[in-house]
Structure 1
Amino acid sequence: MSDHTTLEAQIDQWRAYLQRRQAVVSADVDELEDHLRGQIADLTAGGLDDDEAFLVAVKRMGGLDAVSREFAREHSDRLWKQLVLVPGEPGARTWWRDLAVLLAFALGAGLAIKILVAATADEMVMVRNAAFVVLPFLAGWFAWKRRPAPVVAAVVVTVAAVLALAVNLYPFVPAGEGDPGMTAVLAATHAPVVLWLLVGVFYAGGAWRSHPRRMDFVRFTGELAVYLALIALGGGLLIGLTFGVLSLVEVDFEAALSGWVLPFAMPGALLVAAWLVEAKKSVVENIAPVLTRVFTPLTIVMLAAMFVVLLVGGPLTAVDRELLILMDAVLVLVLALLLYSISARDPHARPGVFDWVQLVLVGAALAVDAVALTAMVTRIAEFGLTANKTAALGLNLVLLAHLVWAARLGLGFVRGRQPFAAVERWQTAYLPAYGAWAAVVVLLFPPLFGFA
């Protein structure tokens, strides 16, 4: 009996292509996919096999460009509908319902932050648990929208609970008065990585094995960062103006700001930004190619400068630990830029100049990563292993494997020997490696290094 793997791959490819139509929104895609699956089910019940049913169902659905025009009936003002649905328009009721549910989750996240602050005065405890009290509300909203299978939800909740128990029950040894130990810091910084990928499972509706759904989550993450930056700039300006005006009339706003505004505004900004991405992602999709084309060359220049400075800056053993940490942060930023660029690219377009520029970016990142790895291995050989050095070394090795294969596939694509689908598929297939390494750091590093 067929396991319908080929059919699901065909539907994922059809959905991914449809999502790139700027006139079609997320709710439209979900509706059309449901309709397509209904047609396929009817046809297979009538005796057709999966391939035949898929082809006939797609034919009945009509051309995707025609579908796009149908959903965008007034394309000239569609851009503004990305942000506000006109009352009475189809979908307005769903729009308001989604927003209302999201605001309820945002309120819950704010209350959770308030409870966390009231429960402890230890800043490190707050830092360790901030992601655990905010991200579940975002995951809950996606679970409400996507309806993942109960088994998938149970697995995700179990993994998150294990992480929460580890970072809160491990007997971390402080490095000094008011100074947390390194394994505590590593656990606090790596747990959110795993949690974010778990949020991605809910975002994908439980279909985490689907490469198009994973790439959707990559695109969502990039767009979320853009919206969060805009909200943070606007919110910071608004708070600054409010603070200035109230200070002129001698009203103390600081207590209200720290006690009420920030605990609700910060998680609220995350959830509202997520809602904006979901409401109309094609606004940012118009910006994404511009952002990647601006920042990719600038990042190449930055990487080249870093490479030269590291080579002429003296012995690699003299490289400062903080510099190596910053280099890791830069490499992660490069990876994020690469993923966002790939998610924003038209997969059917032929190789162009910008694809060569991206290949140069990957090559520059590999050069910097090689120098960073050499410096780390040299320092470890001279001074020995520590939790921080081991975590940094592992991250660089994970990045190295990702970048090496991305460079190989990218070179094959620009030379016409690899389809772009292979480049895209590699990026999404490798994402769990980062979650696995982060989980190792959170769960295994503290006992391995004596919780120090």
Structure 2
Amino acid sequence: MTTRDGQEELEAQFAQWRQYVLRRKELQSLDADELEDHLRGSVDELVAAGLSPDEAFLVAVKRMGSLDELSREFAREHSERLWKQLVLTADTGSSIAGTRSRRDLWAMLICAAGAVVSVKVPALFGLSLQDDGAFYGRNFALFALPWLAGYLAWRRRAGRPVIAILVALFALGAVAANVYPLTDDSQSTVLTGIHLPIALWLVTGLAYVADDWRSSRRRMDFIRFTGEWFIYVVLMALGGGVLSAFLYSTFEAIGLFPDDFISQWLLPCGAVAAAVVAGWLVEAKQSVVENIAPVLTRLFTPLFTAALLAFLVAVVWTSHGIDVDRETLILFNLLLVVVLGLLLYSLSARDPLAPPGPFDKLQLALVISALAIDVLVLLEITGRITDEYGGTPNRAAALGENAILLVNLAWSAWLLLNFIRRRTPFAALERWQTGYLEVYAAWAWIVVLAFPPLFNYV
């Protein structure tokens, strides 16, 4: 017999397990019911045999096998489901789902049209992409992300307080991008163009999690959404490039040159609309990309690990320091961000109930390699600031970002190590990464709002 508290804890474990099962789009609700009945039967038998509820649950889950294998088995038995997921229309068997899908489609079209109108509004005031590139560089995220956030907030039925915060933060971003007297070639202009999209993307994350913004699980869902959204945007960008080349070549054949149309209309309008369409696709067709993104993560993690280790060996072998000019700083920061992205997305795609395996050890090697490179970059930046060149907005921003990454990577390495040694649950690593999103958001806003006046708008 189990106690009342033990039964409540066991039911919570069943609920958590069912949540993970339903993430596999190959498995429908009826399949989850069937699996849960089988799992409950196994647990009851093991409890009757003398195991505690927790032990019985873990043993029963292990006996059932991995969720990936269960998903593959159900996909083979119900292969027609995958083709239904690839169709953009809703399943006609459910009128409620069909109505919801049509509403989502119309909401997406309205938001995408709003983004297109937004990117063309500056042209009414005499601003163009060719002559005012710095303005568009600072504001480009403001043309697309508010509309994506609006679509997500509508779909999540966000409350009025959340909507008010979203409007206030996007308005703050618009003020920060345009109120300071920045020249086109100033370092602060570049920093704003880099950090404002980061700050606004995390604001978009608030629209995604809506009223559950404190939930670690919802934040991890947003990380997963980010990876899938990026894949869709890249695919649409590749398709847009092919369309532009085809359009130019065909019109050139009859003596017309659509350069202005492509550069002033097709590319900017397509880019901002793609941001909204990609969000809609992720929400509507998550299962199609969920099978691609983890594969990409497992492919590039060993490649980046080998590249970082080779770089560290070369640094030690040649005894050469790192040249921390602006281009190099951007390169290394992008490298560390990619490493962090691989870590985050692999965490979001991982089954938390699975035990540590070889891929977790590979991730630990990747994080430790990135941590070593971060330390080298930090030492070089600190030395240049104190001894040689003094502080500039670029170096100050790079110093802060690398310090923030250092803390994140260091503690991530420690948690990964303890997870591999089975001393720390996987949930601790997940909570650390999702909680650290607030640190990145705070730093991005500091660079956007405080750096320009702090460095005299240089």
* Fold conserved between structures, TM > 0.5: yes
Aligned-CA RMSD value: 2.8
The CA deviation at 1:167 is: 2.0
The alignment covers a number of residue pairs equal to 402
Equivalent in the alignment of 2:148: 138
Q: Is the 8 A contact 2:371 2:410 kept in 1?
A: yes
The CA deviation at 1:348 is: 0.9
- Measure the CA separation in 2 of the matches of 1:118 and 1:308: 55
- Measure the CA separation in 2 of the matches of 1:130 and 1:16: 37
Alignment pair present for 1:235 and 2:245: no
Q: Is the 8 A contact 2:20 2:351 kept in 1?
A: no
Alignment pair present for 1:23 and 2:26: yes
Equivalent in the alignment of 1:89: 93
In structure 1, the gaps of 5 or more residues are 1-5, 33-64
Q: Is the 8 A contact 2:145 2:275 kept in 1?
A: no
The CA deviation at 1:21 is: 2.8
In structure 2, the gaps of 5 or more residues are 1-8, 34-66
- Measure the CA separation in 1 of the matches of 2:455 and 2:13: 48
1:368-416 alpha-carbon deviations (Å, 9 max, x no partner): 1111111111111222111110100000000001001100110011111
Q: For residues 187 and 313 of structure 1, do their structure 2 counterparts lie closer, same or farther at Cα, with a shift above 3 Å needed? A: farther
Matches within 5 A, 1:20-419: 20-23=23-26, 75-84=78-87, 85=89, 88-90=92-94, 91-119=97-125, 120-121=127-128, 122-172=132-182, 174=183, 179-311=184-316, 316=321, 318-382=323-387, 383-419=389-425
Q: For residues 140 and 386 of structure 1, do their structure 2 counterparts lie closer, same or farther at Cα, with a shift above 3 Å needed? A: same
Using the TM superposition, name which of 233-242 and 295-304 deviates more: 233-242
1:272-325 alpha-carbon deviations (Å, 9 max, x no partner): 111111112111111222111110011112212332444456663754442122
Equivalent in the alignment of 1:38: none
SS in 2 for 1:249: coil
SS in 2 for 1:252: coil
Q: For residues 381 and 19 of structure 1, do their structure 2 counterparts lie closer, same or farther at Cα, with a shift above 3 Å needed? A: farther
Q: What is the identity, as a one-letter code, of the residue corresponding to 2:398?
A: A
- What TM-score do you get using the length of structure 2 for normalisation? 0.81
Equivalent in the alignment of 1:424: 430
- Measure the CA separation in 1 of the matches of 2:14 and 2:133: 48
Q: For residues 73 and 315 of structure 1, do their structure 2 counterparts lie closer, same or farther at Cα, with a shift above 3 Å needed? A: closer
Seq. identity, %? 49
- What TM-score do you get using the length of structure 1 for normalisation? 0.82
SS in 1 for 2:291: helix
Q: Is the 8 A contact 1:292 1:337 kept in 2?
A: yes
Q: Is the 8 A contact 2:195 2:445 kept in 1?
A: yes
Q: Is the 8 A contact 1:16 1:212 kept in 2?
A: no
The CA deviation at 1:159 is: 2.1
The CA deviation at 1:117 is: 3.5
Equivalent in the alignment of 1:51: none
